[in-house]
Amino acid sequence: MIERYVLRYFLAVVDQGNFTRAAAQCRISQPTLSVGIAKLEASLGQTLFLRNNRRIELTPSGTRFAVHARRIEAEFAAAERDLQDTAPTKLVRIGVATTLPPSWIAAALGRARRASTIERLEVVEGRSSELVALLDRGRGST
């Protein structure tokens, strides 16, 4: 199965025109990149580069594959950008003492949800001592 990292190796070679500079771009050693490309070619059953000359050349298959590879990389980038734009999920875990009237809790939660940007809310019921114990065990909010 083709994984994303070899795809980045492949595109680096296309961009740089040789394996050595491509490896530098990817911040890996040149032999590592070499075996990565070999893996990719093996799993596709296709030679992607002609290494005959000083300059690396794309085969016809390689040229077609490059189109897909660019689209995939672009979509990965778009996905990360898209979710980066929104603030990270705010997880709030609230301990509520069972001694409090449930109606109070419901009302307070309703107000809080409308007023803030909390996406995920967990409510833990229990007596004060139990809630403190939970916090100590690292199940508190961050």
Partner DNA sequence: CTGGCTTACGGACTTCGTAAACATC
Partner DNA sequence: GATGTTTACGAAGTCCGTAAGCCAG
- Check residue 38 for interaction with DNA (CB under 7 A): yes
| Burial (Cβ within 10 Å: 0-12, 13-18, ≥19) of residue 115 | exposed
The binder of a second copy chosen from 32, 89, 116, 128 (CB under 8 A): 89
Nearest to 134 by CA among 95, 104, 81: 95
Residue 113's binding partner among a second copy, DNA, none (Cβ under 5 to 8 angstroms by kind) is none
Instruction: Say how many residues make up the chain.
Output: 142
What's the Cα-to-Cα distance from 23 to each of 46, 71, 85, 138, rounded to whole Å?
21, 21, 30, 42
- Check residue 48 for interaction with DNA (CB under 7 A): no
In the bound state with DNA, the residue whose beta carbon lies nearer, of 118 and 123, is 123
Provide the Cα torsion 20, 1, 61, 53; round to 10°: 20
Residue span binding DNA (CB under 7 A) among the ranges 29-37, 70-78, 93-101, 109-117: 29-37
The binder of DNA chosen from 2, 24, 34, 121 (CB under 7 A): 34
Residue ranges binding DNA (CB under 7 A): 3, 5, 18-20, 27-32, 34-39, 51, 53-54, 56, 124, 134, 139
